Structure 1
Amino acid sequence: MAKTDGVFLFIGTYANEAAARSDYDVVKELHSDGAVGSYDAAVITKDDKGKVHVNKDEMATRHGGWGGAAAGAVIGLLFPPALVGTAVLGGAVGAVIGHFSRGLSRADVKELGELIDTGQAALLIVGASTLEEAINKAELKAEKRVAKQLDVSTSDVEAALKEAAGEVS
């Protein structure tokens, strides 16, 4: 059973970016309907040179208070910064990476990173544990998927984000 204050991570792979975006739209609708709490998501693609491209919806209000840092932190764990084609690694992301790195084993990081192959797209979603049930009910169309309950609490993530925001201000 999921921790009520836990963090849930989902990565699904798709044949193309359009299919990943379609499921991303499903998640946004779930949030609009109140089925999920705070979350962050990104569509990830890899080009033929192996460069990772992160396509985010920058509407932080739609995602609760996480505003891009949660997905960026997971991406920062999965891929070396030199492979990431966009600047997703900011101060708030750095504050959250430490929490997620304690919640994911090296084997988990390797498994998640290898899930995304060149020529495919992926949808990464990280959020409160309530997300897991909503995603399962929504029957997302991912070809492959990995879902993990992280040993991290949402309150720890939110505290790290507030602390980083205070440092940035």
Structure 2
Amino acid sequence: MSAKTPPKCPPEGDHLLLAKIKQAIGPAYLAHGVTPEGHLCVMVQADKIREVASAVKSMGFDHVLSLSAIDYMAEKKFVVTYIFASYLSPELKGQLLHVRAEIPRDNPKIASIADIFPSADYEERECHEMFGIWFEGNPHMGKRFLLDPDCCIDEKTGKPLYPLRKDFKVPDWGLMG
């Protein structure tokens, strides 16, 4: 049985925020979809993520609820996923906006948005430790805070290993009987 590759964006559909989002992010927009829960998801150009984050903030989204990545190992790509929400805007309460951007797996870098949304700082650092994605401009990149400093280091090369990548092999530490 082979695992089905998740879609990079859910199926297209109408959403009340779509026209405003398209206007706000302009040429950074690539595609959109609507999640089964009814949340808008937009694919954007990775090199425009800071402009997109600023536009989303000016619309009234006030924090990054979640930030993670999906490893498309066969395609040699990651899809970085940001979920924006708002506590303060009555119009946006209850709305979650998923913003996704593709980056190459062999050189996984994307600009940090932690100075625009301080709530992204922790999430970017976690994503780096788990996937090896470098968020350029985040002053805390490379400082481990989740994993033990001795954990997930390749014994042969001394380079870090990233436990949420699909090619990560769980070490045999002799813990299982």
Asked whether the two chains share a fold, i.e. TM above 0.5, the reply is no
Report which structure shows greater RCO (CA 8 Å, sep ≥6): 1
Q: Normalising by the residue count of structure 1, what TM-score does the alignment of the two structures yield?
A: 0.29
Q: Point out the structure with the larger helix share.
A: 1
Q: Normalising by the residue count of structure 2, what TM-score does the alignment of the two structures yield?
A: 0.28
